[in-house]
């Protein structure tokens, strides 16, 4: 590796979104360390999700449950109340704007960083090699870091469209995470959104806020989109021990019974899902590899739409758009995308349950396919290089990276790799539930302690 500069730190954190920034905060609170945070946005804490400036982009969890710290459960609520000049109790059930949450994370990290030695690098890591003393990290700006310990906090990996786009200009496809590009779409354009998850919801809300007049259609294989939270959801009492020995079908059957029971008692089906919330990792790991595969093949999409819900007011807006025909949701398989003679885009697709193919013509396509869970399909150079060197191996079912219970990366031989750690999305295969704030805040705190212990033991 060659570069413009070489600096040595104790710990390098690759990725400065919520997960990476919280690890940095915990590390610097524990000990006086030289820590580098490599984040292309140049701001600690916001990442892709919380970098949006759009007021219509809301959190998918109410403010009372979004503290970044397990030991201060009302921390975000207190921040938001002070920001708005109201009592915290008035905001407990509010689904806050994501830009407010980004400001919160930035503020809480800055509280420690301003008093510590954090080297914030506005770039990304493109190469990582073990060098006997730790790791050499090549940066996209030509610089280089050496670190005794590395934390991979890369966040969600972006997924590509399932088919290539033929003979179209560079602006034909817009990524759902490119909030400015979405906002710049001509309100008269006909837009097709590929994918029907949370990224699709963001896109739809921005188009709506901009007074979009053209047609909007979303397409996914199953035609399922996130369902809404119910106001005042109350988890049902009781544990989940009855679910542990059950396979996919039996668990789903019992869940439906719980949901029906909640509704019969005047509650909502969401109450039954919230009962599971603290136990999802345990339930996932109780399954054999075969049962996990069965879930991924047959039930994951249904689970995602019920588990990863949207704010009630967002659900109401989308329902109104569907009712008046401004938005349509199709189930089907995308087969080809090409250009037309008049410069538009033609989509060939196969409607679900139909023997015949279909076509539609639009002006713009938004890639809202969400996240790429399979690490062997990851773009960029960093993760493919780690796999090629044997410094990491794919996690269960090829999802994320394989890790120890503490988050230490396992090499190709299955042994923990000294000084290499990860958290968040890259642990999904092992933990399944690994990207929401309750999981991230716990992982970040525990990883900081474990990584520091490993660093001290290596002296």
Residues 263-310 have pLDDT tens digits of 998 889 998 888 898 999 999 999 999 999 999 999 999 999 999 999
In a domain, 339, yes or no: yes
Q: Which of 190, 188, 220, 194 is nearest to 340 (CA)?
A: 190
Cβ-based neighbours of 113, under 8 Å, separated by 6 or more = 24, 25, 28, 44, 120
pTM here? 0.95
Cβ-based neighbours of 410, under 8 Å, separated by 6 or more = 392, 393, 401, 402, 403, 404, 416, 417
Do 280 and 246 have their domain in common? yes
The per-residue pLDDT of the chain, averaged, comes to 94
Residues 207-254 have pLDDT tens digits of 999 999 999 999 999 999 999 999 876 666 677 899 999 999 999 999
Q: Domain span at residue 270?
A: 241-307
Do 125 and 34 have their domain in common? yes
Is the predicted pLDDT of residue 2 greater than 50, yes or no? no
**What's the confidence (pLDDT) of residue 6?**
56
**What's the confidence (pLDDT) of residue 275?**
87
Is the predicted pLDDT of residue 112 greater than 90, yes or no? no
Q: How many domains does the chain have?
A: 3
* Domain boundary, last residue among 282, 307, 332: 307
**What's the confidence (pLDDT) of residue 417?**
98
Do 175 and 220 have their domain in common? yes
Residues 71-96 have pLDDT tens digits of 999 999 999 999 999 999 999 999 99
Do 266 and 351 have their domain in common? no
Is the predicted pLDDT of residue 5 greater than 70, yes or no? no
Question: Distance (Å, rounded) from C-alpha 197 to C-alpha 306?
Answer: 11
Is the predicted pLDDT of residue 1 greater than 60, yes or no? no
| Percent of the chain whose predicted confidence (pLDDT) is above 70 | 97
8 A C-beta contact, residue 19 and residue 155: yes
Do 210 and 324 have their domain in common? yes
For residue 74, the 8-state DSSP code is T
Residues 159-184 have pLDDT tens digits of 999 999 998 888 899 999 999 999 99
In a domain, 236, yes or no: no
Question: Distance (Å, rounded) from C-alpha 369 to C-alpha 301?
Answer: 13
User: Please, which residues bridge with residue 11 across strands?
Assistant: 35, 149
Residues 38-63 have pLDDT tens digits of 999 999 999 999 999 999 999 999 99
Do 399 and 264 have their domain in common? no
In a domain, 141, yes or no: yes
Q: How is residue 455 written in tokens?
A: 């660093």
**What's the confidence (pLDDT) of residue 3?**
35
Do 314 and 302 have their domain in common? no
Do 19 and 102 have their domain in common? yes
Q: Is 447 helix (H, G, I), strand (E, B) or coil?
A: helix
Do 440 and 386 have their domain in common? yes
In a domain, 78, yes or no: no
Question: Distance (Å, rounded) from C-alpha 30 to C-alpha 440?
Answer: 18
Cβ-based neighbours of 343, under 8 Å, separated by 6 or more = none
Do 33 and 118 have their domain in common? yes
Q: How is residue 431 written in tokens?
A: 């933990």
Residues 354-374 have pLDDT tens digits of 989 999 999 999 999 999 999
Residues 312-371 have pLDDT tens digits of 999 999 999 999 999 999 999 999 999 999 999 999 999 999 989 999 999 999 999 999
CATH of the domain at 423: 3.50.50.60
């Amino acid at each position: 590796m060659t570069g413009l500069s070489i600096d040595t730190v104790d710990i390098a954190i690759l990725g400065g979104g919520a997960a990476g920034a919280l690890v940095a905060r915990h590390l610097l609170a524990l000990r006086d360390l030289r820590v580098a945070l490599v984040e292309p946005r140049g701001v600690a804490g916001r990442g892709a999700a919380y970098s949006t400036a759009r007021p219509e982009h809301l959190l998918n969890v109410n403010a009372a449950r979004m503290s970044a710290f397990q030991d201060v459960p009302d921390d975000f609520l207190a921040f938001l109340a002070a920001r708005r000049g109201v009592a915290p109790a008035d905001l407990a059930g509010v689904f806050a704007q994501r830009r407010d949450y980004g400001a919160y994370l930035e503020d809480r990290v800055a509280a420690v960083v301003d008093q510590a030695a954090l080297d914030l690098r506005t770039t990304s890591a493109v190469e990582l090699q073990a060098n006997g003393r730790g790791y050499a990290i090549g940066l996209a700006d030509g610089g280089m870091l050496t670190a005794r310990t590395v934390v991979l906090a890369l966040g969600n990996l972006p997924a590509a469209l399932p088919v290539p786009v033929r003979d179209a200009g560079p602006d034909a496809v817009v990524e759902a995470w490119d909030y400015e590009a979405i906002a710049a779409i001509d309100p008269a354009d006909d837009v097709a959104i590929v994918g029907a998850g949370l990224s699709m919801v963001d896109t739809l809300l921005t188009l709506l806020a901009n007074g979009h007049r053209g047609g909007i259609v979303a397409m996914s294989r199953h035609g399922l989109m996130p369902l809404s939270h119910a106001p005042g959801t109350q988890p049902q009492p009781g544990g989940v021990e009855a679910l542990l020995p059950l396979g996919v079908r039996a668990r789903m059957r019992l869940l439906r019974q719980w949901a029906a029971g909640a509704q019969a008692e005047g509650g909502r089906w969401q109450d039954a899902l919230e009962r599971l919330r603290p136990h999802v990792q345990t339930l996932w790991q109780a399954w054999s590899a075969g049962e996990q595969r069965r879930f991924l093949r047959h039930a994951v999409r249904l689970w995602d739409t019920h588990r990863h819900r949207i704010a009630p007011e967002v659900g109401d807006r989308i329902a109104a758009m569907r009712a008046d025909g401004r938005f349509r949701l199709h189930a089907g398989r995308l087969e080809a995308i090409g250009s037309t003679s008049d410069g538009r885009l033609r989509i060939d697709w196969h409607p679900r349950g139909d023997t015949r193919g279909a076509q539609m013509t639009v002006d713009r396509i938004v890639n809202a396919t969400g996240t790429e869970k399979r690490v062997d399909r990851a773009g960029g150079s960093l993760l493919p290089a780690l796999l090629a060197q044997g410094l990491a191996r794919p996690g269960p079912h090829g999802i994320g990276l394989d890790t120890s219970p503490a988050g230490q990366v396992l090499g190709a031989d299955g042994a923990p790799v000294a000084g290499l750690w990860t958290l968040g999305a890259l642990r999904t295969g092992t933990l399944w539930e690994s990207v929401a704030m309750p999981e991230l805040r716990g992982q970040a705190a525990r990883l900081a302690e474990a990584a520091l212990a490993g660093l001290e033991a290596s002296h």
